[in-house]
Chains A and B, each alone.
Chain A
Amino acid sequence: MPIESLTVNAFNGLYFAALLFFASVGLTLVFGILNLLNMAHAAFYGLGAYVAVWTLNNMGDVTTSTVALLTVLVLVIPLVVFVLSAALDKTVFAPLYEIEHVYQLLATFGVILMIDDIIKFIWGASPITVDGATDPSRQLGTLDLLGVSVSAYRSFVIVIAIACAVGLYLMFVKTKLGKISQAMSEDYEMVQMLGINVNRVRVLIFSISVAIAALGGALFVPFATATPAVTLEYVLLSFAVIVIGGLGSLKGVIVAALVIGMVRSFGIAYFPALELAIVFGLMALVIIFKPEGLFGDEGVVE
């Protein structure tokens, strides 16, 4: 196995892990802290992808500057989604916090269908891609990584994922919001009785989580095609991530995303016939030997 193909496969694996992290970290946070099993979580990844492709394709007349395009992807879209999801939390999701997980799954599955139909209603069912002129992945070209040329844009996505993971960790251990969140994951009622406005924390955590999923979708789309299928694919993958990593653990999501990303990348490269079996075989192994997931018995940031 030449060193170059090792590097390329590791890079592909890291990139896929970054996407998985964006799509599933919020799912685990919302479950761990707010006790909501939101099946629709990764659907916001799909929504983010469509909003991004639409925004980028409409920016062409105003500017095609790479910095502006990246700012839109990394800051503007997640911010808009953050505000929208706060409204969603107060309306669609508010009644769901009180019900059992099974009903949460059913109800949020309905939300997936709604998001799917909204996407099709607005953008149609045909695959759409970012125009060449406003596609940062084409503008940025390639860079040299250990003698191999890799996409500069995808490297950027990996960096943003790492920054996001570090940011979340710091938020949980350093800020008041993070500490209250951790306490809520331990004992929701006790925190409520201490006079803390848990609803406010709930809205913030929910919106941050959803905004990260949308950020992932936005970053994903310059290098891929927005199709209605994206939604469901990432819903399934994000469940594989949290089953392997353990529900409710930030560390679990990071480790599981990396494991899946690497195993899939090297697996596809050297055993292409096993592609489907790889991710879900891994999931089956974890369910057999450690049903709670790799870090499922730990708190959010333990």
Chain B
Amino acid sequence: MNERNTRISRRHFLKGSAAVTTLGSLAGCALLQEDFGGEEIDGIPDEPFRIVQVLFESGPPAFYGEEAMNASDMLVDQINEDGGLIGEREIEVVDRLDEDAGPDSLISDVQAMAQEGEVDMLMGIISSAHSLAVAPAADDQQFPFLVTMPGTYQLFEENPDMEYVVRTAGTNAAGAVGAVRMVEQMDDIETVVTVDPDYAWGHDHQEMFEAGLEAVGVDVEIIESRYPELGETDYSAHVSAIADQEPDLLFSSLWGGDIATFVSQGVDGGLFEAVDESLLIGDTGAPLLNSLGDAMPENVWLGGRGGYQPNYRYDEDESHREFVDEYYERYDQLPGWGAYHEWMGFQALQEGVESAVSIIGDWPTGEQLMAAMNNIAFEAPHGQHTMYGPQAVAPAVFGRPTDDHDLPVDHPLLGEFEFIEATEVNPPQDVLTMDWVDELEPVTG
């Protein structure tokens, strides 16, 4: 399995980087030629670049918000130590909005901020459902919004004309189709049970996974799909029902505290002895392994849309190593997905500002800045992180839990990594995700 994957990866990796170079130069031309109208900015402003973050500070997904907050505090400090963006303009996080307040409240906050003009950019957001409401509202107000975490593929497909919104997280297609790619390479899988949270994220994943399996023509049947509510604390009824059916594969996009509870109760209920193999793709990695510790079963694949595992290419990739080390030193734990997503966001911001200033000569307006973040690429643990227009395409990375690692934590991390190139798990630019998934080609075909 490893051998074949590496071969595919290398081929696409080269193709990918060629495409990125072209995209980058295109973006530059657009910035110079397009008349953005409105007021231009002279030179580099003296005052800091003001960001408002939006993330969960309370409610079930708050732990994800906490990782994101930690990472952003750390990254802002690092950038400012070097003088700020392009070494000249410091970043200031002037406020944080608690996503738990709900979309209506967030939208009115966005409208107020846009009118007051005291904030340069909105950044963050975790919930897919919230992103679908808040991003179009920010765009209406011509208020730059760098979306860093939610995965719903519908964000730009339902709002294709947004000019003030950019998303640096890969869509959930990468996780779901990545899982299809994994199944393609597995032997002896005939029956599958899916367990996904009961809202857009979970249903999206289940639908893409099911449609993708059918399209690639593997002989696998989903015998049951379960949708526990978000924030469930007792999965034992689900666990025994699944264990009873003894499927060959368990697929799940449960994430955060939910996947920790599910796995821990699954271990107790003998679930991982009843199923042969599991694919847990809800942004799973270090935090789950930390909370499960030795109880973590070994016959599972963890991962999802990106190589956001602390020991993944840790030795090879210096910037990743620095990110992990610094985060660990500061917070005494390894970064989880919320942290990695923020990191990608800040990289896009740095890259975007740099390219805009180099082309325009002055600091970019909000619209110019967002345009400058389109079609760029920057370094990520999984290699080049590429933006197709305003949307990042991420590869899928999965690994198996193992105690065999060199990081200074006493819980398992992942090993035996499987890397599936972004082009294998994302639709080509301007093709709708579900249309593409319905026609998905087998990876070997």
On whether the beta carbons of B240 and A8 are closer than 8 Å, the reply is: yes
Distance A98 CA – B303 CA, assembled complex (angstroms): 54
Q: Which of A117, A129, A269 sits near B291, CB closer than 8 Å? A: A129
Closest to A132 in B: B294
* A-B CB proximity, top 3 nearest: A229-B60, A227-B257, A127-B257
On whether the beta carbons of B233 and A224 are closer than 8 Å, the reply is: yes
Q: Which of A120, A137, A154, A275 sits near B62, CB closer than 8 Å? A: A120
Q: Is A210 interfacial (CB-CB < 8 Å)?
A: no
> Taking beta carbons and an 8 Å cutoff, which residues of B are in contact with A?
57-60, 62-63, 65-67, 198, 224-229, 231-234, 236-238, 240-241, 244, 256-257, 260-261, 264-265, 268-270, 287, 291-295, 333
Cβ–Cβ < 8 Å partners of B295 in chain A: 132, 138
For chain A, give the interface size range.
Answer: 35 or more
Interface string of A271-300 (1 = CB under 8 A from B): 011011000000000000000000000000
On whether the beta carbons of A276 and B229 are closer than 8 Å, the reply is: yes
Distance A224 CA – B260 CA, assembled complex (angstroms): 8
Closest to B66 in A: A125
On whether the beta carbons of A276 and B198 are closer than 8 Å, the reply is: yes
Main secondary structure of the interface of A (DSSP, over half): helix
Closest to B263 in A: A225
Distance A229 CA – B240 CA, assembled complex (angstroms): 23
On whether the beta carbons of B241 and A227 are closer than 8 Å, the reply is: no
Q: Is A131 interfacial (CB-CB < 8 Å)?
A: yes
On whether the beta carbons of A125 and B293 are closer than 8 Å, the reply is: no
On whether the beta carbons of A132 and B293 are closer than 8 Å, the reply is: yes
Distance A120 CA – B58 CA, assembled complex (angstroms): 8
Q: Is A191 interfacial (CB-CB < 8 Å)?
A: no
Distance A272 CA – B194 CA, assembled complex (angstroms): 11
On whether the beta carbons of A272 and B227 are closer than 8 Å, the reply is: yes
Q: Which of B241, B270, B291 sits near A272, CB closer than 8 Å? A: B241
Q: Which of B63, B256, B265, B270 sits near A224, CB closer than 8 Å? A: B265
Q: Is A223 interfacial (CB-CB < 8 Å)?
A: yes
Q: Which of B67, B238, B257, B333 sits near A268, CB closer than 8 Å? A: B238
On whether the beta carbons of B63 and A127 are closer than 8 Å, the reply is: yes
Q: Is A19 interfacial (CB-CB < 8 Å)?
A: yes
Known contacts A230-B233, A276-B229, A9 near B240 by CB under 8 Å: yes
Distance A270 CA – B231 CA, assembled complex (angstroms): 21
Cβ–Cβ < 8 Å partners of A275 in chain B: 198, 227-229
On whether the beta carbons of A268 and B291 are closer than 8 Å, the reply is: no
Cβ–Cβ < 8 Å partners of B231 in chain A: 227, 229, 232-233
Distance A154 CA – B63 CA, assembled complex (angstroms): 27
Distance A220 CA – B268 CA, assembled complex (angstroms): 14
On whether the beta carbons of B237 and A264 are closer than 8 Å, the reply is: yes
B158 to chain A, nearest CB (A): 26
Distance A248 CA – B240 CA, assembled complex (angstroms): 34
On whether the beta carbons of A125 and B264 are closer than 8 Å, the reply is: no
Main secondary structure of the interface of B (DSSP, over half): helix
Distance A138 CA – B293 CA, assembled complex (angstroms): 13
Of the candidates B226, B240, B244, B292, the one having the most CB atoms from chain A within 10 angstroms of its own CB is B240
Q: Which of B229, B238, B260, B269 sits near A127, CB closer than 8 Å? A: B260
Q: Is A197 interfacial (CB-CB < 8 Å)?
A: no
On whether the beta carbons of B261 and A268 are closer than 8 Å, the reply is: no
Closest to A128 in B: B291
Cβ–Cβ < 8 Å partners of B226 in chain A: 268, 272
Interface string of A136-158 (1 = CB under 8 A from B): 01100000000001010010000
Q: Is A15 interfacial (CB-CB < 8 Å)?
A: yes
On whether the beta carbons of B237 and A127 are closer than 8 Å, the reply is: no
Cβ–Cβ < 8 Å partners of A264 in chain B: 237
Q: Which of A116, A128, A225 sits near B58, CB closer than 8 Å? A: A116
Distance A268 CA – B198 CA, assembled complex (angstroms): 14
Cβ–Cβ < 8 Å partners of B198 in chain A: 275-276
Distance A116 CA – B58 CA, assembled complex (angstroms): 8
Q: Is A12 interfacial (CB-CB < 8 Å)?
A: yes
Q: Is A206 interfacial (CB-CB < 8 Å)?
A: no
Beyond the given pairs A129-B291, A223-B268, A268-B226, 10 more chain A to chain B contacts, judged by CB atoms under 8 angstroms and listed by A's residue number, are: A5-B240, A8-B244, A12-B240, A127-B260, A127-B261, A132-B294, A224-B261, A227-B231, A272-B224, A276-B229
Cβ–Cβ < 8 Å partners of B292 in chain A: 129
Distance A19 CA – B269 CA, assembled complex (angstroms): 18
Distance A276 CA – B198 CA, assembled complex (angstroms): 9
Of the candidates B63, B232, B236, B295, the one having the most CB atoms from chain A within 10 angstroms of its own CB is B236
Cβ–Cβ < 8 Å partners of B225 in chain A: 272
A126 to chain B, nearest CB (A): 4
Closest to A141 in B: B268
